[in-house]
Every structure is written in C-alpha cells, then in structure tokens.
Amino acid sequence: MSRRSRKTEVFSLSFLDCICCGFGAIILLFIVSMGVQQTEILKLQKVLENTVMQRQLMLADYQIKNDELDMKLDLQKTKRKRTDRERNTLEALIAKLKQQISDKEKARELFITDLESVKEELAALQTEPEIEQKVIEPVPIGVPVESNVIAFVIDTSGSMREGSTNLINPHVVRKFEEVISSYPEVKGIQLLDASGHFIMGSRMGGKWLEDSPELREAMVRQVRLYPFESESNPVPGIRVAIRRLYEPDVEDFHFGIYVFGDEFTGKPEPVLAEIRKLNKDKEGNRIARINAIGFPNVIHNGAMILQNSGVKFAKLMHDLTYEHGGAFIGMNRENMDNIDRHEQNRYPRPPMPPPSRGGGVIIRFP
C-alpha cells in the first residue's frame, strides 16, 4: 500500500489558538494594569490639588503681608513728609529769629547811641533854671505869658496818677496851678485831656470858658479828681485845641497852649510836620504859642520804662515848643517828690466809702 504524503501548513489552527491566547493574556494584563494606574493617578491628583491649595493659601497670606507693608510704607512716607515740613518750618523760624535778634542788636546799638545824646539834652533841660528861651516877661515857671486865651492839654493816663488813689499826682496839679496863677487875667480858658476830650464845658461845644477865681478853683479841683484816663499821647489834644478853639475873626486873639505830660510812643517827624501845618492861619502866621511841661514819671535813674517813651516825649516837646515860640520845662524828680510829700493833703480827695457792716444786703421797697 503506498503512502500518501501530507503537506505541513505553517498557519494552522493550533497556531491561531496560541496567538489568540497570547493576545488575550496581554489585554487582560493591560486591563489589570490600567486599574492600578488609575488609582495611582487619582492619588497623585489629590496630592497635587492639596499642594496647589496650600500654595494658593500661602500666596494669599503673602499678598496680605505685602499690602500691610505697602500701608506701613505709605505711613512712613507721610510721616517723613510731615517731618520734613516741620523741619523746614523750624529752620525758617530759626532763621527769622536769628534775623530778628540781629536787627534787635543793631537797633540796640543805635538806641544806646541815641540815648547818650538824649540824656545829655534831658540833663540840660533839667538844670536850674530849667530852660531859657525868649520870653516877653520872665516868670517863676519860665514860660511866656503874653497870651490872653489859654488852653491846657493834660495827660490823664495811669502814669500821671497816684497808684494808691488813682488821682492825678499832686506835683502835676501844683504845676498846673502855678501856670494858671501866672496869668492875672485872661479872656478865656479851656481844659482838655490828652485824647482831646474837654474836661470842663464839654456841653458848650468846646467854647472858651469865661475866666474867674471860682472857675480857676474849679479847674484845679477837676484836674485832681478827673476820673477818665486819656491816651499817653498829647498830640490828639493839641490837634483838637487848635481846630476847635481858634477864632480867626476875633481881634487881639493871642492863643497859648500848655501841654502837661510824660510819654510819647510814636514818631516825632510826622507830628512836627502835622502841627507845623495845622498851626498856621491863611497868611501863614502862627496861631498858637505852644508850651510844655514834662514829668519824668517813666524815667528812673536813666532806666527806661515802656521802652524810651519818656525821653521821646521830652525830645518831641523840646522841638515842638521851639518851633512854635514856646518853652519846654523838664521837671526834676527830686522836686516832684518834695511836692508830693508836702502837698499830699492840700488838693481835694474823693470821699471815702462808708465801712461795710456785713450781714448781707438790705433791699428796701417803696
């Protein structure tokens, strides 16, 4: 029996089975491995999410701290600007004070220089006889008495008064009485304070008062008891006296003004120019002869009180009376003190108030 030969096939059914089983195993392994990786991925995702959240929290914290630092920086900048402004203000103030000190030093040097010359003039004015100028008839007080109408301008400020009673000092009243007594008879008299208020006859509109012994006694008493304090500046009184009392239409009108004072705080040049212009009539003739008596109430042993107001008054009155035909009398402090001691009780005083009995206030009804 003859053999039949068979052909061998490479891709047989068995081979396909093996191939399919292998692919199936691989797919199974892949599926199993994919489940494990997904779990790891989820875990890793959670870790990353937590990390991102922590980083976001840290970033928010840093942002808050950054805002706080910016705020503090702005406050520091504001404080620094304020400090710079204050420093600039203080530096400007210091520079201004240094300039003022320098100006004061220069003014002090000039004042000392002027003071020496004024002291010499004041000492010359206080010698005996106190002053010598051209007079028509020599009289005890050293001033001209040819006037037939006279006006007195009296400083009634605090420096011209007694500290204990607030009355006008006795030496002022004594000199006023001496001046008015040196005129045996005049056609008219008037009395003003330094501010220009009429002490007597104010209701008459500033007219001349008719001379009489009774009027003179009343004037002395009124000067002593005058209660109102005027300015420490006689210029307003001089101005009012010339403007209100000058009568250009009256014949034989010889006008005299007497100034009693102790202080002047302004500048003398404008005053001299004003009175020079005011004290002239239409023809350019002098209206009033101006005399003055100065009291060194604010000058003590050369020391100045209220700056140099007392010396300025003496200098102004010296120049003013010289220009307007009068005389200036500078009183001596020793003579003033002697007058105050000897004539303290001679001039009138206001009545003392009755002593209080205590026990409350009694009110009486009608």
| β-pair type (288-294, 328-330) | parallel
Q: Convert the pLDDT of each residue in 259-313 to its tens digit.
A: 999 888 888 999 999 999 999 999 999 999 999 999 887 765 444 444 578 888 9
Worst-scoring range by mean pLDDT, 96-110, 117-131, 194-208? 117-131
200 vs 342: which has the higher pLDDT: 200
Bridge partners (DSSP) listed for residue 290: 257
13 vs 313: which has the higher pLDDT: 313
Q: Convert the pLDDT of each residue in 48-57 to its tens digit.
A: 888 888 888 8
Q: Is 359 left (phi over 0), alpha (psi -120 to 50) or beta?
A: left
pLDDT of residue 302: 46
Find out whether 229 and 156 touch, Cβ atoms under 8 Å: yes
Find out whether 330 and 126 touch, Cβ atoms under 8 Å: yes
Find out whether 151 and 198 touch, Cβ atoms under 8 Å: no
- pLDDT bin (cut points 50, 70, 90) of residue 363 is very low
CA distance 36 to 30: 10
Worst-scoring range by mean pLDDT, 79-93, 290-304, 323-337, 349-363? 349-363
CA distance 365 to 230: 40
The model's pTM is: 0.57
Q: Convert the pLDDT of each residue in 217-226 to its tens digit.
A: 999 999 999 9
C-alpha closest to that of 261 among 304, 314, 192, 302 = 314
Q: Convert the pLDDT of each residue in 69-94 to its tens digit.
A: 999 999 999 999 999 999 999 999 99
Task: Locate 26 and state its tokens.
Answer: 């691989």
pLDDT of residue 328: 92
List all residues 6 or more positions away from 315 whose beta carbon is below 8 Å from its beta carbon: 118, 121, 268
Find out whether 281 and 287 touch, Cβ atoms under 8 Å: yes
